[in-house]
Amino acid sequence: MNTYYLMTTEQKDAVEAEALFQEPYSNITTDRWIVECTVEGLDCITEYANAEECKEYVIENLSVWDDLYGV
C-alpha cells in the first residue's frame, strides 16, 4: 500500500527515487509537494492516513495547485 505525504522540496528531494510511486505533484505557488511513496514514516509536513484525505487537501487548496493530476 502506498502512503501519501505533503512535503517541502527539501523533504521530497531526500526521498530515494526507488521509493517514489510516481513523479511528485507540485504546487506552483509555494514549496509544497504531494508525494506518493512506497515507504511509511518519512519526514514530512503531513502524512495522510489514506488517499481520500490527500484528495480532500488538494480539493480544499485547488486554487493554489496546478491541477488535480488525477490524485
pLDDT tens string 18-64: 888 877 777 656 788 888 998 889 999 999 988 899 888 888 877 66
The reply to whether 27 falls in a domain is yes
Instruction: Count the domains in the chain.
Output: 1
Answering whether pTM is above 0.85, one says no
| pLDDT at residue 70 tops 60 | no
Q: 3-class SS at 26? A: strand
Give residue 69's pLDDT band: very low, low, confident or very high (50, 70, 90): low
Residue 71 lies in a domain: no
Residue 47 maps to a domain? yes
Sign of CA pseudo-dihedral 40, 17, 33, 65: negative
Distances (CA, A) of 59 to 7, 22, 62, 70: 17, 20, 5, 11
Its domain, for residue 11, covers 3-64
Determine, yes or no, domain membership for 70.
no
